Chains A and B, each alone.
Chain A
């Protein structure tokens, strides 16, 4: 058997599924995005309007604002998750009593559905009746009001995301760390390298693919966040946490603005792809090709 034939055979089911459930809907969305279509407009039919949805987007201050807060949210959340997640994964590499128990506890937040997470955090942070504002008030005299303060709401969504998703980073990095061969580390110790040198010159390059894969996943998931934020703040106060996922949700669900909502989605998808592609080309691909 020609070896590449086997390769394609192994790839085939994946490509078929992703084509049927990924590519086909995507082309439909692109097609809709070139139409003016709201089923409750005076004319409910789809009206082809070339690229005017896209033209409108560029001048849509609300969309731009939404994109801005989304990028800030993604940046702070994913960066914190990566740093904390890596430190915790390293901590799990050591031997200590009850390690398996603590690892199980640490993965618990992952098991919770985003809508549940959003609900718990809403109940924990509602002014006056939530435990967190109440504790902050009695300990520090700080008044946390996520219904009124844009900053408080933004930070709460970031903290919620960190709480929920850091375990994912930790788990992925544990898997990468345990798979590392021991020889380079032993060699480095024999050569007298210090901890920082080992980290920068050995650990980091070796787990880089895993880190990037994890960051990618978190990045694109954070870009699409909907359920949690919708439960927690509804996108408020004002538009402070109206992240693009929430914005699109509100455009296509209650407002049934299918044409324009599709255009926004295509652009958001495009931006995500570009960002990820640049990261990918810059950071992963060279390594893969070097290896052959």
Chain B
């Protein structure tokens, strides 16, 4: 039985790799032909140095060069540097870069400034450029975030993740723990679906850690008191599960933020969300006050938290990479806990349950090698290159990638993270479509940090933030 099933799997694997190889060889002619016009061209890209980007730099770029003779240099740098360099280049019209990484949250700012080439149009105008293996229909719905008002694609998706609820299966399935939990709370220990349950479990495990002397706490918290990561956790992961969407700002109502003007940022739900989260922060590991997404992931990987909200790009290595994680094989994946009504909102498209995160490569208007760059963008968008890239960076942007056996094997190790991304991904959402993303965040963040340190009362702090938001949007000219 098991022999046969193994055989079956390997036959499928063989067949898949065989088709990949033959497809590649028949396409090789296209890439060689297309590259002829651009010999001697070197493309320059800038991106954040993450595993998916490093895969582009170390694997896809050399492969592309082999096929086409077009050299691709990718500059990888830190998150804020990457933004700054891309913006300076496009703003000043220098034309250093032929490809820039666009995180989902900044696409609206770039579109509003017409920084990017309409890739759909570019291929329409130059049919000879179009690769036979490239098709916009291959992408998952995540690609829709990078479409302009005309429906055309302005960025080629390269990574997509959801911020999920991770929990420790070894603890949740431990009979001793289960019994103690049942005795204390009167219910069975299972992943939380509501905030009340989540809090209860968190409190239970923090107490358990205290009683048993281990370094264990009930939850993670991305609550840095001087870094935007905390602002993001609250507005993109916590507030939505309380029914406060799009940062509590109503774009259709003159960008109102205060309740008085029709916004939600200082609504009762927002205030409840803040207090819920601050309580979690207090029972999370002490390093949480200095934690960005990085430290949250490492805290979880070190086995210091029983549950937590963790960015999907980290979920994979936490669950599978023994050299980096102490909880390999002990990680469960679930939907984030939420208030009643939020799920209905998410299903109807009115709201969302958490953060859908990711990015694309865009082609700056100022690029001097648009056609050659378009070839490379198509190259990295092919179904054929996706599976290994998914293994290297736990990111999926094409529908076909889900069916790849290698990806399915990893999915099993991750307890269904990819399945959740495919089936429930639509319930999550990226950052709201605001061209003033970083500007509003930075304007309100100082108040937010003071809420975290306790210098400002949470209710009053949210009132202040809502007012500050409206003031800032007025200054920027968005709020009339």
Contact residue among B227, B435, B441 (Cβ-Cβ distance under 8 Å from A234): B227
How long is the Cα–Cα vector from A238 to B230 in the complex, in angstroms?
12
Q: Chain A: how many interface residues by the 8 Å CB criterion?
A: 35
Specify which of A41, A62, A146, A150 lies most central, judged by the most chain B CB atoms within 10 Å of its CB: A41
Report the Cα distance A162→B43, complex, angstroms.
45
Binds B, one of A11-19, A125-133, A274-282: A125-133
Our pick among B84, B87, B289, B442 for the contact of A237 (Cβ within 8 Å) is: B289
Chain A 210-238, CB-CB to B under 8 Å as 1, else 0, gives 00000000000000000000000111111
Contact of A41 with B477 at beta-carbon distance under 8 Å, contacts A129-B287, A150-B453 already known: yes
Chain B residues contacting A241 (CB-CB under 8 Å) are 226
Cβ-defined partner of A42 (8 Å) among B87, B225, B476? B476
Q: A42-B478, A127-B290 are in contact. Are A238 and B450 (CB under 8 A)?
A: yes
The answer to whether B446 touches A238, judged by C-beta atoms less than 8 angstroms apart, is: yes
Answer yes or no: B109 CB below 8 A from chain A CBs.
yes
A128 touching B287, Cβ below 8 Å: yes
| Residue A39 CB within 8 A of the other chain | yes
- Cβ of B438 within 8 Å of any chain A Cβ, yes or no, is yes
* A236 contacts B113, C-beta separation under 8 Å: no
What 0/1 pattern do residues 224 to 259 of A give for CB contact below 8 A with B? 000000000111111111100000001101111100
Interface pair B287/A127, CB less than 8 Å apart: yes
Q: Which residues of B contact A233 (CB under 8 A)?
A: 225-226
Decide if A236 touches B226 in the complex (CB within 8 Å): yes
CB distance from B294 to the nearest CB of A (A): 11
Given the complex, which residues of A lie within 8 Å of B452, measured CB to CB? Answer: 237-238
State the main secondary structure of chain A at its contact with B: loop
Chain B, 426-451, contact with A by CB distance < 8 Å: what is the 0/1 string?
Answer: 00000000011011011100100110
Q: Give bound CA distance, A143 to B422, whole Å.
A: 45
Interface: B360 (CB within 8 A): no
**B228 adjacent to chain A (CB < 8 Å):** yes
What are the residues of chain A within 8 A of B80 when measuring CB–CB?
A: 253-254
* Residue A262 CB within 8 A of the other chain: no
Summarize B's interface: helix, strand, loop or mixed: helix
Question: Contact check: which of A127, A148, A255 meets B453 at CB < 8 Å?
Answer: A148
A205 to B44, CA, bound (A): 57
Once the chains bind, are B87 and A256 in contact (CB under 8 Å)? yes
Q: Smallest Cβ distance from B299 to chain A, in angstroms?
A: 9
Q: Knowing A128-B287, A238-B225, A256-B438 are in contact, say whether A41-B476 is a contact too (CB < 8 A).
A: yes
- B286 contacts chain A at the CB level, 8 A cutoff: yes
Bitwise, B404-432 to A at CB < 8 A (1) or not (0) is 00000000000000000000000000000
**Cβ of B188 < 8 Å from any Cβ of A?**
no
Question: Nearest Cβ distance between residue A111 and chain B, in whole angstroms?
Answer: 22
Whole-angstrom distance between the Cβ of B84 and the nearest chain A Cβ: 6
The 8 Å CB contact of B442, one of A128, A129, A250, is: A250
Q: Is the CB of B442 within 8 A of A254?
A: yes
Interchain CB contact under 8 A, B226 and A255 = no
Cβ–Cβ contact B290 & A122, under 8 A: yes
Residues of B contacting A126 in the complex (Cβ-Cβ under 8 angstroms): 287, 290, 295
Name the residue in A43, A234, A235 with the highest tally of chain B Cβ atoms < 10 Å from its Cβ.
Answer: A234
Question: B residues within 8 A CB of A146?
Answer: 290
The answer to whether A148 and B225 touch across the interface, beta carbons within 8 angstroms, is yes
Min C-beta distance of A26 to chain B, whole Å: 19
Query: Is residue B285 within 8 Å, beta carbon to beta carbon, of the partner chain?
Result: yes
Least CB distance from B455 to A in Å reads 5
Choice from A40, A122, A239 contacting B450 with Cβ under 8 Å = A239
Q: How far is the CB of B210 from chain A (nearest CB, A)?
A: 13
Please name all residues of chain B whose beta carbon is closer than 8 Å to the beta carbon of A254 when the two chains form the complex: 80, 83, 228, 438, 441-442
Whether A33 sits at the interface, judged by CB under 8 Å, is: no
B321 at the interface (CB under 8 A from A): no
Does B271 lie at the interface of the complex (its beta carbon under 8 Å from any beta carbon of A)?
no
Closest A residue, CB atoms, query B435? A40
- Decide yes or no whether A7 CB sits under 8 A from chain B: no
| Residues 176-219 of chain A, each 1 if its beta carbon lies under 8 Å from chain B, else 0 | 00000000000000000000000000000000000000000000
Tell me if A107 counts as interface (CB < 8 A to partner B).
Answer: no
B224 at the A/B interface (Cβ < 8 Å)? yes
Report A135 CB to chain B, min CB distance, Å. 15
CB of A170 closer than 8 Å to a CB of B: no
The answer, yes or no, to whether A38 is at the interface (CB within 8 Å) is: yes
Residue B120 CB within 8 A of the other chain:
no
Chain A contacts for B455, CB-based, 8 A: 150, 238
| 10 A-B pairs with C-beta separation under 8 A | A40-B109, A41-B475, A42-B478, A62-B446, A126-B287, A145-B289, A234-B226, A238-B226, A253-B83, A254-B438
List residues of chain B with CB under 8 Å of any chain A CB.
80, 83-84, 87, 91, 109, 112-113, 224-228, 285-290, 295, 435-436, 438-439, 441-443, 446, 449-450, 452-455, 475-478
Interface residues of A (CB under 8 A from B): 38-44, 62, 122, 126-129, 145-148, 150, 233-242, 250-251, 253-257
Known: A233-B225, A236-B225. 8 other contacts (CB 8 A): A40-B476, A41-B478, A42-B476, A127-B286, A235-B226, A239-B449, A242-B226, A257-B439
Q: What are the 10 tightest A-B residue pairs by CB atom distance, in nearest-first order?
A: A236-B226, A147-B289, A234-B226, A42-B477, A128-B286, A237-B225, A236-B225, A255-B442, A127-B286, A234-B227
